[in-house]
Structure 1
Amino acid sequence: MEVIPSGRLELLSEMEEKYEKKDKQYFVKLLDDKDFVIRCRAVCILVDMGGEDVVPHVANVLKNDSNELVRHEAAFSLGQMCLRSGIKPLEDATRNDPSLFVRHEAAVALGVIGSQDAKETLQKALEDSSEQVRDSAVVALSNLKFMESMCKNDRFAKLTGG
């Protein structure tokens, strides 16, 4: 059983208050917290608050966080935002992240966004050393093809993109 670091529960309570006030800057600062759990939560909360202004912060986490779980959460979250500005950071992670866990999620997120702009990156991911990443690229490319040729319901495509 994990021992919860002192202060985490108090900080989570404070985070709830700041969330109610929609204090984005507070959560941006938490992206540098020493506790990876707090950083994961901060990513999720920022994405929930939404907006193009959040993308650079989440993209920075995806590129630079030391913890692969936090980077994975950032990739997932960028996909859920479905903003074109998330494509380049996700492409970079699909190509270059040292963790197969993150490369896999970044590829899936590109499929969820559904932009044909990501097609070349996903085709390249078919050659990744990891079977999980290759499989994720297949799923994402299938969604791109579906959206390009047959999709009548964008929401359905987003739900099935990964």
Structure 2
Amino acid sequence: MSRSRALSFSVVALAAAGVVLTGCSSDDGGSGKGVPDDGTGKATVSVPDADGKGSAKLHYSGGKSGEFTIESVRCAVMDGKLAAITAPDSADSSTPAKPSFTAVMSGDKAMTTLTTEDGASYLHASAPGISGSRSGDTWVVTVAGLKLGPTDPSGESITVDGVITCGTVSGG
């Protein structure tokens, strides 16, 4: 199978999984994965601002390094567990956003895509490294050591870390 056909299949599968949202799960927060902190040893977790849009602050390193913040996040929950994340919350957009992050959970793994501000894209069909838990009315997602491969054959893999706070949450 050619690289572009494999990429197309992965993207279609991610979209289909996001629509279907079956067999979804999330971490109960006890996975032992680190949560980014501000140097005090205390977790730095943002909560949705007054407009309820949520946010994602992600840092990536490896073949390419950088970080970005997205100011709107939509999450889906099924049977009380995190099922999907879309950042930015622009599901109706006809053009992919830059930067963007999407994940569809299946057990302790997720089909994940990340696009940087300059348009470089990365994906993994079944990556560990994402856990979500509910804190009051807010879903907080930790991304820790998430390894993604480049969609460009000449690119190198990256590792992603960060915190995502869901703004809009669908399901239950």
Q: TM-score per shorter chain, which class?
A: under 0.3
Kindly indicate which of the two structures has a greater share of residues assigned to strand: 2
Higher relative contact order (CA 8 A, sep 6+): 2
Kindly indicate which of the two structures has a greater share of residues assigned to helix: 1
TM-score by length of structure 1 reads 0.24
Larger radius of gyration: 1
